[in-house]
Structure 1
Amino acid sequence: MTHTPNPAHTARESKEPVIVVGAGIAGMTAAFRLQQAGHPVRVLEREDRAGGRMRTVRRRGYHMDLAAILLIENYTQMRDLVRDLDIEDTTLRTNNLVGIRRDGRVHRLRANRPTDLKRSGLLPWSSVPAMVRLQADLRKYAGRLRWNSDMGEAATLDTETAAAYAERRLDTEFRDYVVDPMSAMFFNSPPDLSVVNFLFSMPAVNSEWFNFHDRVDTLTTTLAARLDVETRAEVTQVEETSDGVRVHWRREGEPEHTEEAAAAIVALPGPVAAGLCPGLAPSTLDYLANVPYVPDIHVYFGVDRVPSEPATCVLFPQREHADLGVITFNHNFAPGRAPQGHALLTSYYRYPWAMAHWDDDDDTVEALTHEIHRQAWPEMARHIEAHQDMAYVQRWKNAVILRKPGDYARLRAFNQGLDPRSRIQLAGDYLGFSATNSSLVTGERAARRVREVVTGGAVAAGRV
């Protein structure tokens, strides 16, 4: 299925054509920025619809955002894209109340109010000095933790695990009831996670949040409607030629397609990109093939009565449950996620659990989740089971990148080794911090490099 660009948004002048492989947020941002600059752009997507991990599924009136659910106001580049698409009226400032479970109760704090951590009762007053040290570190390192960077500056901080940092700079209480549950947002645990991930995640706990009124894929569906997106188009190879690129793709029931363009942007997970671009440098292919993604299984429950929990999400330290990481209350993020009078909740696990149960069928995963709810939060388990009218299991093979100490230094070396003059440019979460806004930023960076390659001139950062 091909979506024809809206004439009101096509470029004023025709320039060199570009092919983008992958219609996630990275690929479509790249395509949109190139289209703004006058390049004819064609997006090839293997799935039957665009969006990637910024996609929403509708079931029985529930809108289930499949991956990206939490958007923060310091996603400056995403906010700029929303403005440039003229869809600011589809967004709103949202509830940013976070809960952390401890000793059988939920301690709640507002994400943009660090002082709530003291008032919530989550930590003893003896942890206040640790909190002060953390805030000082965040101010000190702010310049190295930026969404629009290639993580080169952050690599200088990548010397220890989140657990080691907590033991060195914070205290045991802080480690167990703040650092550990924050690590669960990466489906991980502090001993296996670089301190950079923890430090990078903390602005989300010191920020206002925003979202789209009804569904998070408002952004990607708007982009898809304004671009030439060919769906069900499985790309099999991207090769650089003497004066451009050649892209091979197929669709069931059709002969193989071959298209040529001035350049291509491959916006797919690292291992997939490696398989499609065998002509890249051996060191590049080796890095791409070994990007350390971890899997995720999460389970949605629609219920016909809204629970009393006011938080958008409740985090579970391992002291509360070894496997369950987060329960989100999606109806509290923004309206439109559930029918009137109903609620939508989602349970997320740390990745070892997902790996252990990856091959289980959906009914088994749902039953296991009910049992885990009974162990971790009996009152909520009873509410879900008494009022459930929908369940949905979502699996992501390449959910998020597991960054251990030293990985950001390797990422810096990888980014520095990429050829900015190549007619095949890369975009995706593995080029920066593994988050939606970072993926978007890599798409803009790839578009800028492609423009420089095909026009033979420099293009200012942040300009189209």
Structure 2
Amino acid sequence: MTRVAVVGAGIAGLTAAYRLQTAGCDVEVFEAEDVAGGRVQTVRAGSYAMDTGASALGSTYRAYLDLARELGVEIVDTAPYVGIRRAGTTHLLDMNHVVRTGVRTPLLSWGAKLRVSRLAFDVAAARVRGRLDYADMSKAAPLDTESARDYALRALGPELDSYLCEPIVRTMLIADTDKVSKVELFSGIANIFTARIQTVVGGQDRMVDALCRRLDVHLKTPVAEVVRLPGGGVRVSRAGAASRFDACVVTCPLPEAVEICPDDRPVLAPLSRDLAYTQCISVAVGTTRPPQCPAFLVMFPSTENPDIALMFLDHNKSPDRVPAGGGLLSCLWETSASERMIDAGDDQVRDHTLATVFDVFPELRGAVDFVHVTRWRRALPYTRIGAYRMIGRLNAALEACSPLQYAADFMSAAGQNTAVEFGNRAARNILAHHVR
């Protein structure tokens, strides 16, 4: 029987392990943390279920949705409304009727509305030319010439930068438009405005649970080194142990991959200079009553709130996340603000977050049931200009026939669907070349 090691128990690693085990391989998953799931985490307190990391899905996430159906994980649509803040008011967009509400909304001036057509054309052209292929984002390299803000100011004007482009980028990457490539803006628009937004019943970690029940996962077991062996296969070293496997899938973030995979360090290390990770503080606020807002998501331009990037209204995302009659808000801090406050005490983070909550929803004063603070010191990868060319070179250098495969966030746009796609791809490569 073919023995395969998987380094990392996030969605990508668990998907690869599941596919390999289903095909008859003997698979072991090694996870350095004391919990599986990576950035997919759900914290439960009483009848509340708080997604502290990945929070929603798009109906275009075919690989993820196919796997969910296979595992019996239930997916539902969220409420269809998104809010964007401007001048102290939440302007609602009905995502089921985007054009109609986009024309009618007072969020944007008529001049800005007319310029939206330029943005729609540029995104559509990028998709037609295959520039937004999430399975191979190296195809986006020709677009990767300027920041999202530079593009918006050049092609659309400051109003659309502030009240459309930046809210979308902050929602997708928890970072302002000056920090990321316009590729991320185009990807965000393609995700948000061309799909229904969905979520997992019971919490996003239900997918993780369904996979872990079927696998042999070793928690608190960091891998120190993965090297190819001259006679074939790989050696996987852990504290006090080293084992030979026929193949291995590495799914950890780039800094760890550079450290533990010396054979591929020459191709991995150059990308680490162009790809960084955001930090994020996520604050869940449980309330004894819901706010008077039908949206599942409220976005904040930096001109409206430099610190809080967005709020998920989880009770509108899926009613099963809260006790009957209650509310739940998940407030995510922008990366620069998170870096500034990441080591601040919970009380300071709590008070600053609640000030925004009460400003947006004054009816919640006196209704706060509890507050839960989560700190993500490595939240999402975000790219400096030109990084997609480096991603393309990296993917071209990694051989499909190698016993060491990668399914990691530095190979494409990070997300739950791309994690499943790359987990599937790594498993296919191993099954094609290394199964006895």
Aligned with 1:247 (options 236, 239, 251): 236
| Cα separation, 2, equivalents of 1:147 and 1:334 | 29
- Correspondence 1:125-164 to 2 at 5 A: 125-143=110-128, 144-146=130-132, 148-164=134-150
| 2:321 alignment counterpart | 337
CA RMSD of aligned residues (A): 1.8
Whether the 8 Å CA contact 2:112–2:159 is kept in 1: the answer is yes
| 1:195 alignment counterpart | 182
| Cα separation, 2, equivalents of 1:157 and 1:289 | 20
Aligned with 2:63 (options 69, 77, 93): 77
- CA drift of 1:422 comes to 2.4
| 1:459 alignment counterpart | none
- CA drift of 1:104 comes to 1.4
Identity fraction in percent:
32
Whether the 8 Å CA contact 2:274–2:387 is kept in 1: the answer is no
| Cα separation, 2, equivalents of 1:363 and 1:357 | 11
Using a 3 Å threshold, how does the CA distance of structure 1 residues 216 and 332 change in structure 2: closer, same or farther?
same
Letter in 1 for 2:334: R
Letter in 1 for 2:202: D
- CA drift of 1:290 comes to 6.1
| 1:230 alignment counterpart | 218
Deviations 1:58-107 (A, max 9, x none): 113211112111200010111111122243xx222221311000111111
| 1:7 alignment counterpart | none
Matched, 1:30 2:10: no
- Correspondence 1:55-454 to 2 at 5 A: 55-87=41-73, 90-115=74-99, 116-143=101-128, 144-146=130-132, 148-185=134-171, 186-203=173-190, 204-242=192-230, 243-250=232-239, 256-288=240-272, 291-373=275-357, 378-380=359-361, 382-454=362-434
Using a 3 Å threshold, how does the CA distance of structure 1 residues 109 and 102 change in structure 2: closer, same or farther?
same
Using a 3 Å threshold, how does the CA distance of structure 1 residues 272 and 22 change in structure 2: closer, same or farther?
same
> 1:438 aligns to what SS in structure 2?
helix
Deviations 1:27-51 (A, max 9, x none): 0011111122221211111223321
Greater Cα offset, 300-309 or 44-53: 44-53
- CA drift of 1:148 comes to 4.4
| Cα separation, 2, equivalents of 1:288 and 1:442 | 19
| Cα separation, 2, equivalents of 1:379 and 1:16 | 56
- CA drift of 1:333 comes to 0.7
| Cα separation, 2, equivalents of 1:148 and 1:172 | 28
- CA drift of 1:192 comes to 2.0
> 2:124 aligns to what SS in structure 1?
helix
TM (norm. structure 1) is 0.88
Whether the 8 Å CA contact 1:214–1:335 is kept in 2: the answer is no
Whether the 8 Å CA contact 1:181–1:316 is kept in 2: the answer is yes
Deviations 1:352-385 (A, max 9, x none): 11111111122221122223445xxx252x4444
Whether the 8 Å CA contact 2:149–2:177 is kept in 1: the answer is yes
Using a 3 Å threshold, how does the CA distance of structure 1 residues 440 and 145 change in structure 2: closer, same or farther?
farther
| Cα separation, 2, equivalents of 1:35 and 1:274 | 27
Greater Cα offset, 229-238 or 349-358: 229-238
| Cα separation, 2, equivalents of 1:148 and 1:454 | 26
Structure 1: 5+ residue runs without aligned partners? 1-14, 251-255, 457-464
Whether the 8 Å CA contact 2:126–2:132 is kept in 1: the answer is no
| Cα separation, 2, equivalents of 1:403 and 1:257 | 36
Using a 3 Å threshold, how does the CA distance of structure 1 residues 279 and 350 change in structure 2: closer, same or farther?
same
Structure 2: 5+ residue runs without aligned partners? none
| 1:5 alignment counterpart | none
- CA drift of 1:206 comes to 2.7
Letter in 1 for 2:336: P
Using a 3 Å threshold, how does the CA distance of structure 1 residues 354 and 389 change in structure 2: closer, same or farther?
same
Whether the 8 Å CA contact 2:271–2:387 is kept in 1: the answer is no
Deviations 1:305-353 (A, max 9, x none): 1111110111111221222211110111112211111111011121111
Greater Cα offset, 100-109 or 133-142: 133-142
Whether the 8 Å CA contact 1:162–1:193 is kept in 2: the answer is yes
| Cα separation, 2, equivalents of 1:344 and 1:61 | 11
> 1:177 aligns to what SS in structure 2?
helix
| Cα separation, 2, equivalents of 1:169 and 1:83 | 41
Matched, 1:49 2:29: no
Using a 3 Å threshold, how does the CA distance of structure 1 residues 148 and 195 change in structure 2: closer, same or farther?
closer
Whether the 8 Å CA contact 1:268–1:428 is kept in 2: the answer is yes
Letter in 1 for 2:54: A
Whether the 8 Å CA contact 2:98–2:193 is kept in 1: the answer is yes
> 2:178 aligns to what SS in structure 1?
helix
Q: Which runs of 4+ in 1 moved over 4 A?
A: 145-148
- CA drift of 1:407 comes to 1.4
Letter in 1 for 2:183: V
- CA drift of 1:145 comes to 4.6
- CA drift of 1:449 comes to 2.0
